[in-house]
Amino acid sequence: MTHTIRLPTILRVHAGGDASVTARGATVGEIFADLGKRYSGLARQLLDPDGSVPVFVNVFLNDEDIRYLQGLNTPCSQPSEITILPSVAGG
């Protein structure tokens, strides 16, 4: 099943400049793993070395933050849109 991942400007450099990319998988984690096969630099931004999503990266599956679902184990049983948003913060 193919899903669409929408990228913020700062990450598009890791995807050939594209605003969105597609990937396959049955969970968010599988989708990120599939992304990593083609966009290794992008995968490094989306996953820490321990395999978790960095705290400054927000991942929305359709309209929901995956932190409040099942994280990377959240199932994607329908073609879905995943939106990546960097945390906006400062001092």
- Which residues of this protein are in contact with another protein, per CB under 8 A? 8-10, 56, 58, 60, 63, 65, 83, 85-91
Nearer to another protein, 49 or 88 (CB): 88
Cα 2 from chain centre: 13
Q: Which residues contact 78 (CB under 8 A, 6 or more apart)?
A: 1
Number of C-beta neighbours around residue 74 at 10 A: 19
**Which uninterrupted H or E stretch holds 59?**
strand 57-61
Nearer to another protein, 33 or 60 (CB): 60
- Give me the least distance between CB of 53 and another protein, in Å please: 12
- Give me the least distance between CB of 66 and another protein, in Å please: 11
What 8-state DSSP symbol labels residue 75?
Answer: B
- Give me the least distance between CB of 83 and another protein, in Å please: 7
Nearer to another protein, 37 or 70 (CB): 70
